[in-house]
Structure formats: C-alpha cells, structure tokens
Amino acid sequence: MADAPRTTLPNPRANPRFGGGACTFCRYPRLEDVPKEQQPVDWALYGVPFDSGVTYRPGTRFGPRAIRDESQYVKPYHIEHDLMLTDILSLADAGDSPVANFSCEQNAQVVTEFAMGVGDPAHTKLMAVGGDHSIAYANMKATFERRGRPEGGLALLHFDSHVDTVDVTMGEKWSHASPFIRAVEDGILNPKKMLSIGIKGPLNTPDDLNYAKEHGVTIVTREQLARDGDEVIGKFAGDLAQAPCYLTFDIDVFDPSVAPGTGTPSVGGLLPHEGLSLLRRFAKAFAGGPPNIIGADVVEVLPDRDPTGCTALLAAHVMFEILCLDALGRR
C-alpha cells in the first residue's frame, strides 16, 4: 500500500455516512478541496442532470443527485481485487455540468465545454454520471480531445440493453438512442473496436441492428452471454489489448426486477452479481491486465421509479468497479 493515501475520506467511525457536510460521490472531496499533495486528480466525477434525450420515461436528470446520496455507503476497499482504491487514485467530485435542457445537440456542446476544463486536462480522467445516455457523446468527445485525439478513434466497452446506434428518433439525431453513431461520424469512436454487452429485445425492427453489424461492432446479447459470451469477450479483449478505451454503462443492462429505476426497462437483464462479476473479470482479460480505460460514464438512473434507492446504489457500485479497474493497472 502507498505510504500516504491519494484520496482522503472522512473517517466513517467519527463522521458517520448519514451525517452532515457536502454530499459528494462516494464521499470523495470536492475538486476545489483536494489538497496540493493529492494533485493532479486522477479521476474527476461529475454529474450531468439532463434527460431531454429520452424516448420513453423522463426523470434521469435527478440521477446524479440520487447516486450521490446512495453512494455514501460505497467503501474504498475492494475485497476481490485486494485493493484500497483511495491509496492508489486521487478522486474528486467536480460538481454538475451546466445543461441545455431544450436541445440535445446544444447540450452536447455545453457539457463538452465544461468537461474540457475539469481538473488537469493532461492528466485527469473523466467519469460522467447521468442523466440519459445522450450525455455519453460529450464525455467521450472531451476524453478524446484531452487524450490527444488517439489515431483511429477510441475503443468502447459498452454495457446496455440497447445498441444506441439509431440514426434518428422522432426527428432527433442527438437522443439517447444515437450517441455512438454520432461519435463514429465525428471520428471519436472506432466501431470495429466497440463491444456491446447485454443487448436484448424485443426491438422495433431487425433493422435496428443493421448499423452496428455493417460497421463491425461486436455484439454480445444477453442470451449469448450465457452461451459463449466469455469466448467472444475474451477474443475482443485479446485483440484490443492496451489500446485506449472508454467504458459506458447503462443501468438498464440490469433486469428491472433489481434495477427498476430506469426509463427504458428491458426484461431479462443481468442480476447485480453478474454485472459486477463481468467488470471484475476484466481485471486480467486485456493482455494479462485490465483495460486501458481513459474515460467512463454511468447513465440512465431514474430515481422516481425506484423509491428504495437500490438502482442508484447499484450505479454507485458500478462506478466503484470501473475506478478499481483503472487502479489495478497502476498498482
């Protein structure tokens, strides 16, 4: 373990998790409060309270607030990885991005501009917490630009019930159904290095899969995951190795029986232990180590549909697992 922690947390035995003070993601310090010796920050987490890109139930604009609240009970030591996250990474809550509620395309521009200036652009990685999945484009673009526009575009590890490569929905090209087709068009994302895990139906039409299939996206459906998913994922990971990749996680990949707080629920999804186990198994899958994650988002938590708070709590743990993957690569 490190001689001194990279992130200082409140002592839960003296300052209880239900106590006062600013409610931040996982009790990490606010970005402006990070001490000099823990700078530059390795990961800045920020909320994007935007849901004007949804095609069904709205309300994910309240996701960042709910996830902050539930994440108070996320602790820093990972049992399976034997890893103390805060000894390895300097982590901070950068607050919420401003949003443009009445225009999906303008919102992408506003959030990108905000994200470009968070932390140390040459060092700090970004995790956006939504909000609907349309916000992924902005964080991907900011990550792409801050990392020097990697040649060929970013690889993508994508957990979702939906492929999100529909061109236009109800006249809108920037909705939560379209972030990745827009990212491909702008050279941010390499579709041949995109892995979509957990996809399931029913769909409006088989044509919904055409773009992904024609552009080389690797799709592992929920049923395929149970059959030969490990083999397909293993091959993708072996080919990707340590290429820079972005990880996007839509909470609706989980079954609505365990994560009802989402706007486009899809029956037959992952159970919590399955989703978390998949992330943990990435630890040695990419050239013997974890993926080279350079940015991430967790999206589509709609707290009003889940008064228990379990969906937001699950999202907070997904965030923790993603951060631990990056920490593993630095240990």
- State which fold the 25-328 domain adopts: Arginase; Chain A (3.40.800)
pLDDT exceeds cutoff 70 at 1: no
Nearest alpha carbon to residue 66 among 159, 130, 154: 130
* Mean per-residue pLDDT, 169-185: 96
Nearest alpha carbon to residue 280 among 324, 223, 224, 230: 324
pLDDT exceeds cutoff 50 at 2: no
CB 322 within 8 A of CB 125: no
- pLDDT the model gives residue 3: 72
pLDDT exceeds cutoff 60 at 177: yes
Instruction: Report the first-to-last Cα separation within the chain, whole angstroms.
Output: 9
Host H or E run for residue 326? helix 310-328
Q: Which two three-digit tokens encode residue 17? A: 């998790």
- pLDDT the model gives residue 215: 97
Residue range 227-273, pLDDT digits in tens: 999 999 999 999 999 999 999 999 999 999 999 999 999 999 999 99
- Cα separation of 127 and 26, whole Å? 13
Torsion of CA 248, 253, 259, 260, to 10 degrees: 110
Residue range 38-63, pLDDT digits in tens: 999 999 999 999 999 999 999 999 99
* 196 backbone dihedrals φ, ψ, rounded to 5°: -110, 120
pLDDT exceeds cutoff 80 at 20: no
Residue range 107-166, pLDDT digits in tens: 999 999 999 999 999 999 999 999 999 999 999 999 999 999 999 999 999 999 999 999
Q: Which two three-digit tokens encode residue 136? A: 């992924």
Would you say how long the chain is, in residues? 331
- pLDDT the model gives residue 253: 98
Q: Please compute, for residue 275, the number of CA atoms within 13 A of its CA located in the half-sphere on the CB side.
A: 30
For 197-234, b/e burial (b = at least 16 CB within 10 A) is bbbbbeeeeeeebebbeebebbbbbbebbeeebeebbe
Residue range 188-200, pLDDT digits in tens: 999 999 999 999 9
- Cα separation of 78 and 14, whole Å? 22
- pLDDT the model gives residue 21: 80
State how beta strands 244-250 and 154-159 pair: parallel
CB 41 within 8 A of CB 91: yes
CB 315 within 8 A of CB 67: yes
- pLDDT the model gives residue 292: 96
Nearest alpha carbon to residue 22 among 13, 11, 30: 30
- Cα separation of 15 and 167, whole Å? 49
Its pTM stands at 0.96
User: What is the C-alpha radius of gyration for the chain, rounded to an integer number of angstroms?
Assistant: 18
At CA 106, angle to CA 105 and CA 112, rounded to 5?
Answer: 95
- Looking up tokens 């996680």 gives 249
Q: Where are the domains of the chain?
A: 25-328
Nearest alpha carbon to residue 274 among 163, 194, 193, 159: 159
Q: pLDDT-based confidence at 14, cuts 50/70/90?
A: confident
- Looking up tokens 């501009």 gives 113
- Looking up tokens 């972030």 gives 179
**What are the Cα distances from residue 324, in Å, to 175, 273, 291?**
30, 16, 11
Residue range 300-324, pLDDT digits in tens: 999 999 999 999 999 999 999 999 9
